[in-house]
Structure 1
């Protein structure tokens, strides 16, 4: 009994960078020690910094300002900057944990459906560590904006997505925007993580990951289409 307790206590905590370089080992650690406090804090701080700098870059972009209708609304540039950065900060501080909670909830529901063994805490820890990939995508996007100013195209287009290479509008544009290098990487690691943490077959792990990914992709495309429709109807 003491040997079991000793071996259990020797299990190291999962690490953020380890998810990139030794994911299988980190997923086993998450199963044994589903910690997330430090990882969540680090990712939220990084998100706030990156999103704030992204907001500052966007308000300097004339295409973004024109699409936002700043001149037509008669909004002072300082007020628009404050609103933009404020919304970015809100997304980093509130949006990040809410997104992780919702995603973990859906994973947990599917885990029960497929008779997996993962608890909500384990899944929240898994999703928290995997959130490093969207943060890295945001970092590249922020650097891209500051270096190129948006490249003279739509500044809201992620340079690591298909929409940066294939011209499209509306629903298709949103669909291509969600098919992005880090999103695919995250999808692969999510499928593997669900299988390892939940003790599921690879097929079931992929099924859950693809369902969530597909629904998220369709929602993003729908919001993009609705946004463009609203812009076209604006006077």
Structure 2
């Protein structure tokens, strides 16, 4: 047992391990919640993904009643905004999620630390980054401008519904890994961890539903 624990204490989690051996990574995070390398890689992937999304929006920009110079300026602003979003969204997203989970951990009397939760959330962001790049690459390949992920229910049904778009493969994958992570690393009970997962998915769907309502009212 001591040998296994010593290995866990010295080994660092890896983002690529989140695909093939997530349980092992969660155990490593418990003893060594490193996140610097994961944050660097995930941020880089998000920058690439967000930058690529701007190329799938060209037809939308071209549909605007703008002169050539104005169109170039709008596209430039869009690219800069996308890169800035890619830089800050992984860290801020993980920070917000970690604060919420830490509050829940206090309620269920878990001894998990903020650093452990932050490490877990940063590594989970790798799944989101894969989804972002994959869906953007597909959009570029078929020359289709859309904010809907092809791996979502909306993409499967060829719908523009934001509500259906919130039911998405990589989001569900990440949420399921979150459930296992809370059990392996944070000592959440199975019930508590899956309640958190379900609430996370419901909040995502709820926000999409509210967005759909506001869009309908605006139109």
TM-score (norm 2): 0.89
- Name the CA shift for 1:224/1:74 in 2 (closer, same or farther; >3 Å): farther
Q: Is the 8 A contact 1:35 1:125 kept in 2?
A: yes
Match of 1:223 among 201, 208, 211: 211
2:191 paired residue number:
203
1:46 alignment partner in structure 2? 45
Q: Distance in 1 between matches of 2:88 and 2:147?
A: 21
Moved beyond 4 Å, runs of 4+: 72-75
Structure 1 unmatched ranges of 5 or more: none
Number of aligned residues: 217
Alignment of 1:63-102 (within 5 A): 64-65=60-61, 70-71=64-65, 76-102=70-96
Q: In 1, Cα distance between the equivalents of 2:156 and 2:7?
A: 49
* Separation in structure 2 between the aligned mates of residue 124 and residue 43 of structure 1, nearest angstrom: 13
After superposition, give the CA deviation of every residue in 1:116-172 in whole Å (9 maximum; x if it has no partner): 22111100000000101110111111111210111xxx6111100001133556xxx
2: CA distance between counterparts of 1:149 and 1:22? 35
TM-score (norm 1): 0.84
Q: Does residue 1:177 correspond to 2:165, yes or no? A: yes
Offset from partner CA, 1:95-114 (integer Å, 9 cap, x none): 22111110111111111111
Unaligned runs of 5+ in 2: none
Are the aligned partners of 1:116 and 1:199 in contact in 2 as well (CA < 8 Å)?
A: yes
Against the structure 1 CA distance between its residues 117 and 178, is the aligned structure 2 distance closer, same or farther, given a 3 Å change threshold?
same
Q: Which residue of 2 aligns with 1:163?
A: 154
